[in-house]
Structure 1
């Protein structure tokens, strides 16, 4: 029999039992749609991460101190001396105090408080909406001023300008000096400009009795000087700590690759789980095909008695299983594309990016699942003896 005739016969069987066919395809549909949706979300996340890092520039270096004790403490004034070097243009040390109680009038919420200097906002490519940011004089005179992120300002003051108002941070009164324009997450340090309150670093250390500087941001004048700046800060920390461990120095490219790799790893794990649905769908196809062979035993006997060969019966049932899984793959592909396109409407912060190759591979995988799991029922049907098949009621 010709291939097109076999496909036509398989389609007639599928159409003749629409509900059973749909339930059989369900595992394949779920598997393919899950893979397509998860990959589109993963690729959208990776693209968003790359855009955010590009927005921060390519000359940024992040220093994280992991060691404990006096041997691994950084001094603010010593760090700022490095700014005189030609390969280092800007330095912004930070101290982060998470979940601080911030109160104004009758409103009290928990937000992150960041102690830093005047360079932080420019390094993070943020802008002031009203008032001003931290100035060198604020650090010199330990002024108790605070700059609010857009979300924090809206929470306490709505659309009013909070500049000049007093807020209470963990029992210490600070005067609002400015508000930052809405920016989004600061992926380099895990701190959002919108959801944080910024105070002078020296003031934060004294007011909240915080420890030493743990994270420092540096910027090289040009991308060509980035490696030199990274080597300089690494050499400085190695000399200061008397060890090359206890700290981590990374540039933007390294940070971006690490974040993308972590996102891809998680996405691959989710895809692996989704592929299990395809395998379950294949088992469902095999079970239904075994039932089909039992129901059509007499038909098989008649076909064999009038000259159908074993390979004809094998191909007939194999093509039928493949058609079922292939149709499930197409439906799953359409459903996955629809979910991927609709996802940003339900979650505007999450981008999606459809991939033609992933869709094609998912469809081909679903077809392969049908062929593999349809092989046993088809082989069983092809081995039936005509005389035994004709005796079946």
Structure 2
């Protein structure tokens, strides 16, 4: 009996009881569709991280101070003198106050307030929608002015122009001087859209924020990034008399850390999905053992008229493989459909289908069917014709 005849017989047997076949394939379908969907979501997340990275350029360094007190305190004016060095182009110190109560008219919500200087917007590659950003004069006179991120401006003012209006931030009145265009979240950890920006010195005194905790620096070129980082390392070590009171992270390290965290989580989820495939394989083996018991007489008849052991072995092995293969195909289609539809359900999350991973998931499902179908097929092939024919 040639392989095509065996395949035809297997398909006919499998489709003879569609409900049982579908239930048998369920574990494989769930496993394959989960793998395809999770990989698509994971690759979409990594693509978003890379896009955020590119949107900030490749020359960014983030300085975080970790200690308390004057020994680990950064001075704004002293920091800004570092811009005179050729390896450092832009410096934007920040003070962040999360969960600030921002009130306008009868609307009150919580947003992040960022105290910074005039360099911050260009360094973060943001754009003004209207008005202006914080300027040097605001820093010197400690003006109580504010620039709204796009989401903040939309929530409070809709399509109206908010320039010149007053808002209340934690009980202190600020005048709106500008709004930003939609930017989206960025790899620095602060979303321009969901933040309110005020002059650094105003934020320090108004909200009693203490020391500068995070400073962003930009090197003129990517080639000068390591030199700029080394310069800051030496400066901070000298100033703090220690190399442990601060942390320096460049843009590559930020992106790699985010990608690694995303990939680790995604791999863990894929591992869980693969367990479904193994459970599906056990289900296939169980059903095939039942099938062998039900078709014992058929096996005896076939053997008595000349069927060899390998014919019986191949027949049942192909049936198990067909079940897992069909489950794999349905799982691929289902997983691809979910991956394509996912951004419609969650617009903030993009997906990217991987043809390579999809093929591996399908081949793994076929392999599961072959492995777990081997024992029932071997059991069927070893039945003695005389014993099989005696079975009712």
TM bracket, shorter-chain basis: over 0.9
The CA distance in 2 between the partners of 1:179 and 1:168, in whole Å, is 16
Residue 225 of structure 1 corresponds to which residue in structure 2? Answer: 224
Matches within 5 A, 1:246-257: 246-257=245-256
The CA distance in 1 between the partners of 2:69 and 2:365, in whole Å, is 57
Residue 159 of structure 2 corresponds to which residue in structure 1? Answer: 159
The CA distance in 1 between the partners of 2:66 and 2:362, in whole Å, is 47
The CA distance in 2 between the partners of 1:102 and 1:334, in whole Å, is 48
TM-score of the two chains, using structure 1 as the length reference: 0.97
Residue 96 of structure 1 corresponds to which residue in structure 2? Answer: 96
Report deviation, 1:112: 0.5
Matches within 5 A, 1:62-77: 62-77=62-77
Residue 47 of structure 1 corresponds to which residue in structure 2? Answer: 47
- List runs of 5+ in structure 1 lacking aligned partners: none
The CA distance in 1 between the partners of 2:322 and 2:68, in whole Å, is 63
Matched, 1:325 2:324: yes
Matched, 1:237 2:236: yes
Matched, 1:30 2:61: no
The CA distance in 2 between the partners of 1:302 and 1:233, in whole Å, is 85
| Structure 2 residue matching 1:192: 3-state secondary structure | coil
RMSD between aligned alpha carbons? 1.1
The CA distance in 2 between the partners of 1:315 and 1:52, in whole Å, is 53
Q: Deviations over 1:330-372 (max 9, x none)?
A: 1111111111122222222211111111011000000011011
Residue 371 of structure 1 corresponds to which residue in structure 2? Answer: 370
Q: Deviations over 1:224-258 (max 9, x none)?
A: 11111011011111111222223221221221111
Q: Deviations over 1:189-232 (max 9, x none)?
A: x1111100001111111011112111111011111111110110
The CA distance in 2 between the partners of 1:64 and 1:25, in whole Å, is 53
Report deviation, 1:66: 2.4
TM-score of the two chains, using structure 2 as the length reference: 0.98
Residue 136 of structure 2 corresponds to which residue in structure 1? Answer: 136
Report deviation, 1:311: 2.0
Greater shift, 50-59 or 71-80, is seen at 71-80
The CA distance in 2 between the partners of 1:152 and 1:111, in whole Å, is 8
Residue 86 of structure 2 corresponds to which residue in structure 1? Answer: 86
Report the count of equivalent residues: 392
Q: Deviations over 1:63-108 (max 9, x none)?
A: 1222334322222122111111111010001111000000111110
Matches within 5 A, 1:167-182: 167-182=167-182
Contact kept? 2:187, 2:254, Cα under 8 Å = no
Report deviation, 1:272: 0.8
